[in-house]
Amino acid sequence: MSDVVGSWQVALSDGVHKVEFEHGTTSGKRVVRVDNKEVLRHDWLFKLVGKETFKIGKHQCTVNIDAVSGFAYEYSLDVDGKPLEKFSENRSKISRTWTLKLDGIDYRIVLEKDTLDLWVNGQRVEAEAEFTDEGTETIFDIAGHPAILKAVSSGRRNNGLHYTLLVDGCDIPPTSDNENA
């Protein structure tokens, strides 16, 4: 019988990771799985509340176990010291994500605006940006399909740059990282 009490989706540059937490309140067992792979296990813990810390890539994650009343518990996930919701909100400000299907294969493209790193299906892509009259164009390839990432000024100081992804000449709309991509 499974004691899964918490499940979260963590969107990072290398993909969306599924985190599951098992908590056996009679045995004290604690198990953390990331993408269905067990990354942490404790059996026979007598303290039923506390924290379990693990990593997803370079990101420090913590499952918090708090008693709410009697034998009821509340579970939450922190990523890099922030609650998952706040972490995701901050990530959406510093990255842009697009998803598309090419030749029957799903692709996820992520631009990290702070580092200008470009990721395709979890792999960092080497690409160089060229300056144009409107801004920059980063030309790269997705499985033999030409792709261009355009960065153009919004014309307003507070709005920054506007990013557009073209694949095979078609405009790809951005995807929200809060969706289960």
Do domains 4-80 and 94-175 share one topology? The answer is yes
Domain boundaries, the chain: 4-80, 94-175
**Angle, alpha carbons 18-49-178 (nearest 5°):** 25
Q: Is 96 helix (H, G, I), strand (E, B) or coil?
A: strand
- List pLDDT tens digits, range 130-160: 888 888 999 999 999 999 999 998 777 667 7
What is the fold, at CATH topology level, of the domain defined by 4-80?
Lipocalin (2.40.128)
- List pLDDT tens digits, range 7-43: 999 999 888 999 999 998 887 899 999 999 999 999 8
Q: 23 CB contacts (<8 Å, ≥6 apart)?
A: 3, 5, 6, 29, 30, 48, 65, 73, 75
The class (CATH top level) of 94-175 is mainly beta
8 Å CB contact between 121 and 107:
yes
Taking alpha carbons only, the member of 129, 169, 173 closest to residue 151 is 129
